[in-house]
């Protein structure tokens, strides 16, 4: 059975563990856009605790917008803000400088101006940087009643602690199941070992 997942913006470690362990993943491409979920936001670990990075999207005048039609907004200069936050909180992490250029180039130029395209370009790039190639296809019609709860940013899976620069001074406890960039910037090539050892949500 393929695993059905929503598209996510720099999704959490557990999401990528699911991508790693699943024989096949179907990403829901025919749902209506749901605001304030991992489709347009991610959580990063900071020395003040988890911080939300949210993408601004163009507000449609209809309540039900197909996920593939949601366009990115320049409002609030969010790309610059996100890159600034990543530099602020991860600039001194062991692998930040190895990966940030790839992530920046996708954020700036690697998509067609829609949220779905940005998310999927980032997902493909992150999998490439970590070093695995999940078998992914997009749903041909709405399958959403089977969607995993991962779409809610408040539902966090338990991810065993790894070195995390935000908690390195001991003042913050380990922040579990942050965005995949937290794992990537902190552990680099060893990220894949965490995904491998993290029993996915389906096992």
pTM here?
A: 0.93
- Residues in the chain, total: 203
Is residue 148 very low, low, confident or very high in pLDDT (cuts 50, 70, 90)? Answer: low
Q: Cβ(4)–Cβ(143) under 8 Å? A: yes
Alpha-carbon gap, residue 137 to 25, rounded angstroms: 6
What digits encode the pLDDT tens for the residues 176-199?
Answer: 999 999 999 999 999 999 999 986
Q: What token pair was written down for 86? A: 């990543």
Assess whether pLDDT exceeds 50 at residue 91: yes
Alpha-carbon gap, residue 159 to 161, rounded angstroms: 6
**What's the N-to-C CA distance of the chain in angstroms?**
13
pLDDT confidence of residue 200: 45
What digits encode the pLDDT tens for the residues 150-186?
Answer: 556 667 888 999 999 999 999 999 999 999 999 999 9
Beta strands in the chain (DSSP E): 3-5, 25-27, 41-44, 51-54, 136-138
Q: What token pair was written down for 194? A: 């965490």
What DSSP assignment string belongs to 180-197? HHHHHHHHGGGHHHHHHH
Q: Per DSSP, what are the bridge partners of residue 71?
A: 114
- What are the φ and ψ backbone dihedral angles of 85, each rounded to 5 degrees? -65, -40
Q: Per DSSP, what are the bridge partners of residue 27?
A: 5, 138
Domain ranges for the chain: 3-197
What digits encode the pLDDT tens for the residues 22-74?
Answer: 999 999 999 999 888 999 999 999 999 999 999 999 987 677 899 999 999 98
What is the DSSP secondary structure assignment for residue 44, as one 8-state letter?
E
């Amino acid at each position: 059975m393929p695993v059905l997942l929503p598209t996510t913006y720099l999704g959490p470690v557990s999401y990528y563990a699911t991508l790693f362990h699943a024989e096949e993943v179907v990403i829901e491409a025919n749902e209506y856009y749901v605001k304030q979920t991992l489709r347009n936001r991610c959580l990063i670990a900071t020395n003040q605790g988890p911080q939300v990075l949210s993408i601004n999207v163009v507000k449609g005048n209809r309540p039900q917008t197909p996920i593939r039609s949601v366009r990115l907004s320049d409002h609030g200069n969010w790309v610059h803000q996100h890159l600034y936050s990543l530099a602020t909180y991860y600039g001194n992490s062991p692998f930040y400088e190895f990966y940030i250029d790839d992530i920046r180039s996708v954020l700036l130029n690697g998509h067609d101006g829609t949220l779905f395209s940005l998310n999927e370009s980032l997902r493909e790039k992150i999998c490439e940087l970590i070093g695995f190639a999940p078998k992914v296809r997009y749903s041909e019609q709405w399958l959403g009643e089977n969607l995993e709860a991962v779409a809610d940013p408040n539902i966090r899976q338990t991810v065993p602690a790894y070195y995390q620069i935000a908690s390195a001074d001991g003042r913050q406890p380990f922040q579990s199941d942050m965005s995949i960039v937290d794992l990537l910037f902190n552990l680099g090539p060893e990220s894949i070992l965490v995904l491998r050892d993290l029993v996915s949500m389906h096992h």
